[in-house]
């Protein structure tokens, strides 16, 4: 995920503040122990001298002497732990936990890759102003109720009920989340408005963000606005460029309400570029639309429609308007 310099610096300052707070806690505890436990203070002073001698031996490449001081440090460390234990302190009293033990509050793992906490915080910074991203806190699988979908309303083409279609989509969505790291599926949720497509997309996004996957969730109009700013805007402006790159780099891209945008040669080219690039790099994409498959075919170019038909799992929603039902329930 691409951050602007300002966003990146803000995150790094947060990590620095965490490390400083931890070090200040250690210093406070050291001062208190020095006052209460003279024996502890003596060992601390001796350890400081031994560390210095070990460093000098290492610089001089005197391996025998360096090994001697290493063994001495180990012995003194054990004595220090015993003094703490005898006084009622835990052995790790001077090693308080990091906020994130996996990266030790640096943002990066030992292999140099961004830590899961970095990805999660980057998501928050990048999309804290995006309306759909803000709604994700309300989207959870346990709240997706199949009771809204009638069992007696059936698709004449397949004889499957509205309930069966929704159940099939929900089952796949859960599997999609569970196997996200190994599978790279993409989905199209299509059908009438108010049928739960956006909510199910939000459930997927929310669950994956809890796993610290990078998710970009926005309306088709917003996505094309980002593409337009990249194509025609000022190239030196960092924020639009970061938003554009994240359309391609995010672990999951969710495009909501495809078909509500004004379709033209630019939007068709931009959509093909996004979908094709993500497909080539095995990155998952979810599209929700109120259009039928026939309308998608007639609205977009054949190369876009063929990409969707050949590479996406298709899930049909029909026979229900949950928004209307909920509105009636509240009155």
DSSP string, 264-320: -HHHHHHHHHHHHHHHHTT-EEEEEESS-HHHHHHHS-HHHHHHHHHHSEEEEE-S-
Nearest to 256 by CA among 209, 169, 187: 187
Nearest-angstrom CA–CA distance, 212 and 177: 12
Nearest-angstrom CA–CA distance, 184 and 282: 6
Residues 282-299 pLDDT 10s: 999 999 999 999 999 999
Give the pLDDT of residue 22: 96
- Per the DSSP assignment, residues forming a β-bridge with 216 are 253
**Matching residue, tokens 């009636």:** 328
Handedness of CA 45, 46, 51, 53 (dihedral sign): positive
What is the overall mean pLDDT for the chain?
A: 88
Give the pLDDT of residue 104: 95
Tokens of 72: 């001495």
Give the pLDDT of residue 299: 93
Residue 236 to residues 3, 4, 230, Cα–Cα distance (Å): 14, 11, 10
| 249 contacts 218 by C-beta, under 8 angstroms | no
Give the pLDDT of residue 123: 75
Nearest-angstrom CA–CA distance, 329 and 168: 26
CA 156 to chain centre: 40
Q: Which CATH class is domain 129-329?
A: alpha beta
Give the pLDDT of residue 100: 92
Beta-carbon count within 10 A of 69 CB: 20
**Matching residue, tokens 């498959």:** 293
Tokens of 100: 């994130």
Beta-carbon count within 10 A of 290 CB: 17
Give the pLDDT of residue 261: 86
Residues 195, 145, 131: CA angle, nearest 5 degrees: 60
| 206 contacts 244 by C-beta, under 8 angstroms | no
Length of the chain: 331
Check residue 120 and give left, alpha or beta (phi > 0: left; psi -120 to 50: alpha). alpha
Give the pLDDT of residue 106: 95
Residues 39-48 pLDDT 10s: 888 888 888 8
| 252 contacts 173 by C-beta, under 8 angstroms | no
Check residue 40 and give left, alpha or beta (phi > 0: left; psi -120 to 50: alpha). alpha
Give the pLDDT of residue 236: 47
Give the pLDDT of residue 189: 97
Residues of the chain with pLDDT under 50: 236, 331
Beta-carbon count within 10 A of 65 CB: 15
E-state strands within 41-91? none
Handedness of CA 174, 329, 190, 254 (dihedral sign): negative
Nearest-angstrom CA–CA distance, 104 and 274: 36
């Amino acid at each position: 995920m691409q951050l602007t310099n300002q966003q990146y610096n803000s995150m790094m300052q947060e990590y620095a503040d965490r490390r400083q707070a931890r070090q200040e806690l250690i210093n406070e505890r050291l001062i208190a122990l020095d006052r209460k436990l003279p024996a502890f203070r003596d060992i601390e002073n001796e350890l400081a001298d031994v560390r210095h001698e070990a460093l000098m031996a290492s610089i001089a490449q005197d391996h025998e002497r360096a090994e001697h001081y290493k063994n001495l440090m180990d012995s003194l460390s054990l004595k220090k732990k015993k003094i703490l234990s005898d006084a009622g302190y835990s052995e790790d009293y001077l090693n308080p936990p990091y906020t994130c033990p996996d990266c030790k509050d640096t943002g990066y793992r030992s292999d140099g890759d961004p830590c899961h906490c970095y990805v999660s915080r980057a998501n928050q910074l990048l999309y804290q102003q995006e309306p759909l991203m803000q709604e994700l806190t309300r989207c959870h699988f346990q709240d997706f109720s199949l009771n809204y979908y009638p069992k007696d309303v059936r698709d004449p083409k397949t004889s499957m009920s509205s309930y069966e279609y929704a159940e099939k989509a929900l089952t796949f969505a859960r599997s999609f989340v569970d196997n996200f790291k190994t599978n790279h599926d993409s989905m199209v949720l299509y059908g009438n408005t108010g049928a739960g497509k956006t909510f199910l997309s939000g459930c997927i996004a929310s669950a994956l963000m809890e796993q610290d996957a990078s998710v970009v969730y926005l309306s088709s109009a917003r996505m094309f606005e980002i593409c337009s700013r990249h194509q025609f805007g000022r190239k030196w402006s960092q924020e639009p460029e970061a938003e554009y790159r994240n359309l391609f780099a995010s672990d999951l891209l969710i495009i909501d309400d495809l078909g509500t945008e004004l379709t033209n040669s630019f939007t068709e080219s931009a959509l093909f570029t996004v979908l094709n690039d993500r497909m080539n790099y095995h990155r998952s994409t979810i599209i929700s639309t109120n259009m039928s498959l026939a309308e998608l075919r007639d609205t977009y170019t054949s190369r876009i429609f063929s990409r969707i038909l050949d590479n996406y799992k298709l899930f049909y929603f029909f026979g229900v308007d949950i928004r209307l039902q909920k509105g009636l329930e509240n009155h």
